[in-house]
Homo-oligomer: A and B are copies of this chain.
Amino acid sequence: MTHLTIGHLAERAGVATSAIRFYESKGLISSVRTTGNQRRYEQSTLRRIAFIRTAQRVGLTLEEIGAALATLPDGRTPTKSDWHRLSRAWRPRLDEQIERIERLRDRLDSCIGCGCLSLKTCALSNPDDEAGEWGTGAVFLEPQRRTAR
Contact = CB atoms under 8 A, between A and B. Distances in A.
B108 A101 contact: no
15 contacts: A47-B119, A50-B119, A50-B125, A54-B117, A61-B142, A83-B115, A87-B124, A95-B105, A98-B101, A98-B102, A101-B101, A134-B142, A138-B138, A138-B139, A139-B139
Chain A contact surface mostly: helix
Interface residues of A, number: 55
Nearest to A13: B119
A46 to B, nearest CB: 6
A111 B87 contact: yes
Contact of A97 (B12, B114, B139): B139
Contacts of A119: 12-14, 46-47, 50
A84 interface: yes
Contact of A117 (B83, B109, B111): B83
